[in-house]
Structure 1
């Protein structure tokens, strides 16, 4: 397997520029590139090393802060759209009387599944920039239209299309932010998952504001209630209108606040060394930072290609073909350790894809049923509690970000988060009062986001840059598939009982064990 040392050997035999590229490497900050010993492509590996050095040399600027916020919008929108459909589902069912009440959940997860795969693949084929600029705009348009739906089928269609637009953001947001981050600041990728909780909180606020005040009553709870119609049940429509309008504003801010440049690491995979250097130099110049990377250094790395005298490009002959997909899939299994890592990551996403919706997406029904047990039938109290639970979810990734920056690293942050979540899941089944109900749901949402937020960050960190979008998209795709399955399970099972809680607890035990087995630890290393 070719490594940096192989590059030095080639340089000593006649490639002096490559030797100097490494020998004069003063920006290494004693951190190795996480996949440096795994790459089968010495050219790509050498260039990645130089780009990482350049990014470390430039350091953290306002450009990264802008990306933290604008990419965070994608996190928020993903959770917002996912939870909005579960929030409004009950009232829409009262109005439309569908034959299959879990249809919206399936529609949302199908849209997010297709979105994750589509935007993930296009991110590796045509770049990160296009999806960054377009995905939220599509999501907002269909979210607004969903509020005007005349029947259940049309509502399901636009929920699906809105989810398609938003579903690719988790693939792109982490990749774009990571590929501009200095190595010492990579823990911020975990912290960015706090935006997921902000999206949940916004969903809770919209529900709290509109559902209790502009909704019809459930005849099963209030026998004297009037039939639900368009005129007396507009609350769920207002939730969609407000959500869509907010996402539209976010999409405009993405285009106007920052003119996103294609990420340097994607440009390397394209063989566009000159554009890569220009991008980094322009950022350094704008924020008055040093950047010693030159085009000569990048092109000197091509001498490592002993068998081929050309820059390395991570693509097939035809970009839009099954061969192109095959190149990226093969890249995710280019070595044994990378293959094991990829498989375990996908398995982790599959597990949490079942655990998360069983708890969080169906939490409104469970809270409502438990509230009824405690004598709380007020929709206002139900949605107030739901908002408090979502607020608590913001702070899990904040703690996770701190933990990831310590010697615990990403792996053991996930282990601790999963095990604590499991303990509180089991404890939650013993809740007997209204106050305990709210407190335990808040704690659980806080703890599970320690694991979830870290997994979101860990996934792109250990995937090869040239295939990051594909690997991340498939990972989140497994998550969405299990979300669809969870809707089917919820139809058969009773989500007002503790059974889904027990299932979630058991799944978190397995997640903790898988995290221990991950072959890579990003702490102290730089993403490739």
Structure 2
């Protein structure tokens, strides 16, 4: 007598193997071919079969108000990640005038260290204990310590609390991408790229706050005006107001995440845990609320068999982590994809900060008049640049939805950024500086936004948090390295670092072409 599929993990429901799934209405078109991206990698046939059924159900339900809410709530994480990172960049000069630190780049290292630990911690925990806890809690942690930063009385205290704030913020992008993607119909996966526009919104908010506070409540640098009084807390409250306002905003956003939507655990995580009934309950709840069809049943999932690859057999944390890392290298193509993605994150993590550090030094050395003694104009221009940066991911999202695909869009973003970086070396005036800055921010956000979206799309769902966390962690390591390089190099006026940054974007374009998976026309597994 032959075994039933339910008892034999090697025999799965053949209906789950059908590549074509026709859905009327808001899902796939009647002739669409819905092929799961990693379905032919032959890792766990039971997990693959169940994932196809879940993808079919999500496509059947289609895009609803639930996904719109998730687009906004997940976007908060993008905005906060850029907000908290940029705050430390723009306040460091004023803080140094007040505290006189022996190592000014310590603030940058503290921020990136917190982001590094946060990315690894929240990324691993997302695959071990689920997405929901980190999604709801990371922003709250970030906001509390951000507010405390504004009350710091010395450099060490500020660095410590900034690291803790960034620890909470470091988990946002890991979870935001995964959570939104795992509820997203395949027809709308391009929205994951467009969602990176929220990154620019965070920069924009920071720029406007800086314009309001730093231009009006900052002490004067004695190097600029020798008659200026000593810099004290009383005449240098601008950077503190910036932390207070940003922290309060993030706190409000963290509360909205909890109150606007009671986020259930994502179905694709639950599949890996073997909680088939809860998967159906979650999807049916969304379908019922928005009056959409959902034909998925518990019996269909259970008939596929038992998933055996998503988690470790034992209870040890180390064995669980190893299962998720090994899962990212389950096949040669998946291993190559994972390695190239992580390498891309390291490259952008090194190139972007170095450009910000060395470009002003080089321009000053060749006599460029790019600076201004007016704090108002300085922060106004900063806001303008970030307004332009908001729109970079929008054309990226549309390009990703064409045959150019994710890889082609990354190539376009990287090469255009490289071209403007080379062109930046010819800048000699304030207006030219503003124009090229706008162009670079716009183009770099095309690449960044697409890389953010591509990363979770090509990672297997059972190990998505781990892969995301390590990718962002390596990005933070590169950021720390850039701060060390800046400290060692000092104020050396040379074009070499600029050309190195531009060359890194050429490398990133080449890596994008070499990536083995193209998500265009495929569903995330």
TM-score (structure 2 length as normaliser):
0.93
Q: Deviations over 1:136-186 (max 9, x none)?
A: 000000000000000000000011000000011110000000000000100
Identify the residue that residue 259 of structure 1 maps to in structure 2: 262
Identify the residue that residue 38 of structure 2 maps to in structure 1: 35
Q: After superposition, where does 1:201-280 map in structure 2 within 5 Å?
A: 201-280=204-283
Q: After superposition, where does 1:394-433 map in structure 2 within 5 Å?
A: 394-433=390-429
Identify the residue that residue 18 of structure 1 maps to in structure 2: 13
Identify the residue that residue 3 of structure 1 maps to in structure 2: none
C-alpha displacement at 1:359, in angstroms? Answer: 2.7
RMSD: 2.3
C-alpha displacement at 1:471, in angstroms? Answer: 0.4
CA contact under 8 A between 2:369 and 2:428: conserved in structure 1?
Answer: no
C-alpha displacement at 1:391, in angstroms? Answer: 1.1
Identify the residue that residue 526 of structure 1 maps to in structure 2: 523
Distance 2:78 2:42 in 1: 30
C-alpha displacement at 1:503, in angstroms? Answer: 2.3
Question: Tell me, what secondary structure is at the counterpart of 2:392?
Answer: helix
Structure 1 residue runs without a partner (length 5+): 1-8, 303-309
Identify the residue that residue 512 of structure 1 maps to in structure 2: 509
Asked if 1:317 corresponds to 2:313, the answer is yes
Q: Give the aligned length.
A: 512
Q: After superposition, where does 1:89-108 map in structure 2 within 5 Å?
A: 89-108=92-111
Asked if 1:392 corresponds to 2:408, the answer is no
Question: Tell me, what secondary structure is at the counterpart of 1:469?
Answer: helix
Q: After superposition, where does 1:49-448 map in structure 2 within 5 Å?
A: 49-302=52-305, 310-312=306-308, 314-360=310-356, 373-374=369-370, 376-448=372-444
TM-score (structure 1 length as normaliser):
0.93
CA contact under 8 A between 2:9 and 2:304: conserved in structure 1?
Answer: no
Report the CA distance shift for 1:375/1:110 in structure 2 as closer, same or farther (over 3 A).
closer
Distance 1:127 1:365 in 2: 45
Identify the residue that residue 499 of structure 2 maps to in structure 1: 502
CA contact under 8 A between 2:9 and 2:46: conserved in structure 1?
Answer: no
CA contact under 8 A between 2:21 and 2:33: conserved in structure 1?
Answer: no
C-alpha displacement at 1:500, in angstroms? Answer: 3.7
CA contact under 8 A between 1:270 and 1:313: conserved in structure 2?
Answer: no
Structure 2 residue runs without a partner (length 5+): none
Report the CA distance shift for 1:468/1:157 in structure 2 as closer, same or farther (over 3 A).
same
Identify the residue that residue 451 of structure 1 maps to in structure 2: 447
Q: Deviations over 1:384-404 (max 9, x none)?
A: 111111111111100100100
Question: Tell me, what secondary structure is at the counterpart of 1:301?
Answer: coil
C-alpha displacement at 1:245, in angstroms? Answer: 0.3
Report the CA distance shift for 1:369/1:257 in structure 2 as closer, same or farther (over 3 A).
farther
Asked if 1:477 corresponds to 2:473, the answer is yes
Report the CA distance shift for 1:500/1:211 in structure 2 as closer, same or farther (over 3 A).
farther
Identify the residue that residue 4 of structure 1 maps to in structure 2: none
